[in-house]
Amino acid sequence: MSGTLVLLRHGQSDWNLKNLFTGWKDPDLTEKGVEEAKGAGQRLKAAGYSFDIAFTSELSRAQRTLTLALGELGQSGLETIRNIALNERDYGDLSGLNKDDAREKWGEEQVHIWRRSYDTPPPGGESLKDTGARVWPYYIHTIQPRVLRGETILVAAHGNSLRALVMALEGMSGEEIVGEEIATGVPIVYRLNADSTVAEKTVLSA
């Protein structure tokens, strides 16, 4: 067996709470989000995890989640690499809009397609397939080799960038991944085989 990869979606953000499309906008965590991030760190510590390196996006809600979780782990000084490849899906013209207002403007069915289809992007934005097109190469070239060397790695990112990773790790189809939800502040632990396939998956729920 090779190394361990832990995926962590950021805690609840202010715009999650307000039901807004967030994408590449940069709101902070809510108080609940702070507690979710700390709780994730506490559960990882209780399960005996410590990390060799962490990766996160260029967005502050993921960075702060990582900082808070590492603080609970006693690893505040851990080497961390930030990269735009791990950013949330860009919602384009929907960014900053209330989801109910968007449904009123474009219709329930159209907004549902933009949110949940695999390869239909909103105007000016990315589909989940587009998000995967930047996440997958970054994972394969930068993160996966370290896991396969036996390192234990933490990736703090976003619902859609992590869904793209889960899709690749678990061999899901575009149809399967659209129904997959990534909960805020809940670590997903993958132990990988030497051939990069998943040997074991554990979800550290509260």
pLDDT in tens, the chain (206 residues): 589 999 999 999 999 999 999 999 999 999 999 999 999 999 999 999 999 999 999 999 999 999 999 999 999 999 999 999 999 999 999 999 999 999 999 999 999 999 889 999 999 999 999 999 999 999 999 999 999 999 999 999 999 999 999 999 999 999 899 888 999 999 999 999 999 999 999 999 97
Is 10 among the catalytic positions? Answer: yes
Tokens describing residue 107: 């219709």
Tokens describing residue 114: 């933009």
Mode of pairing for the β-strands spanning 198-203 and 188-192: antiparallel
Give the pLDDT of residue 1.
59
Residues 6 or more apart whose CB falls under 8 angstroms from that of 192 comprise 1, 2, 3, 4, 5, 147, 148, 198, 199
Residues 6 or more apart whose CB falls under 8 angstroms from that of 106 comprise 114
Q: 8, 191 in Cβ contact below 8 A?
A: no
Give the pLDDT of residue 2.
80
Is 88 among the catalytic positions? Answer: yes
| Catalytic residue selected from 36, 72, 88, 126 | 88
Residues 6 or more apart whose CB falls under 8 angstroms from that of 12 comprise 29, 30, 32, 33, 36, 184, 185
Give the pLDDT of residue 205.
92
Return the SS3 of 201.
strand
In this prediction the pTM is 0.95
Q: 49, 69 in Cβ contact below 8 A?
A: no
| Catalytic residue selected from 10, 72, 126, 158 | 10
Return phi, psi of residue 55, to 5°: -125, 145
